[in-house]
Amino acid sequence: MGYWYLAVAICAEVIATLALKASDGFSHPASSTICVIGYAIAFYFLSLVLKTVPVGIAYGIWAGMGILLIALISAVIYKQIPDLPAIIGLCLIFSGVVVINVFSKTVSH
């Protein structure tokens, strides 16, 4: 169940971060509200994840997937296209998440 909670936490964090950008410094009430609620949901579900998944593994996956998803969605929504070094870095982050999930004995599925 921990990894389902982690998926919810990641999705909520991605939505909250995109809303943070849209809030324009918290000057738009709707986006600001989505941002605050999204982060509250993300941290609540992350707290549930930490009951069963080691903190370093959970945070690595949460942060890595959040970075990757936000970069991809920002490229589409905000036209913030990463350059080649950024793409390489994002690929390395994704590779790290895969290595953790596939090869680490610390991860219990």
pLDDT digits (tens, 9 = 90+) for 46-99: 999 999 998 988 998 999 999 999 999 999 999 999 999 999 999 999 999 889
pLDDT for position 73: 97
Is residue 59 included in any domain, yes or no?
yes
DSSP state of 23: T
Is residue 108 included in any domain, yes or no?
no
**How much is the mean pLDDT over the chain?**
93
Is residue 65 included in any domain, yes or no?
yes
pLDDT of 107 over the 80 cut = no
Binned at pLDDT 50, 70 and 90, residue 109 comes out as: low
Residue type, 14: V
- End-to-end Cα spacing for the chain: 9
Give yes or no for a contact between 12 and 39, defined as CB atoms under 8 angstroms apart: yes
The arithmetic mean of pLDDT across residues 31-38, rounded, is 98
Reported pTM: 0.88
Give yes or no for a contact between 57 and 104, defined as CB atoms under 8 angstroms apart: yes
Give yes or no for a contact between 33 and 58, defined as CB atoms under 8 angstroms apart: no
- Determine the structural domain holding residue 44 and report its residue range: 2-103
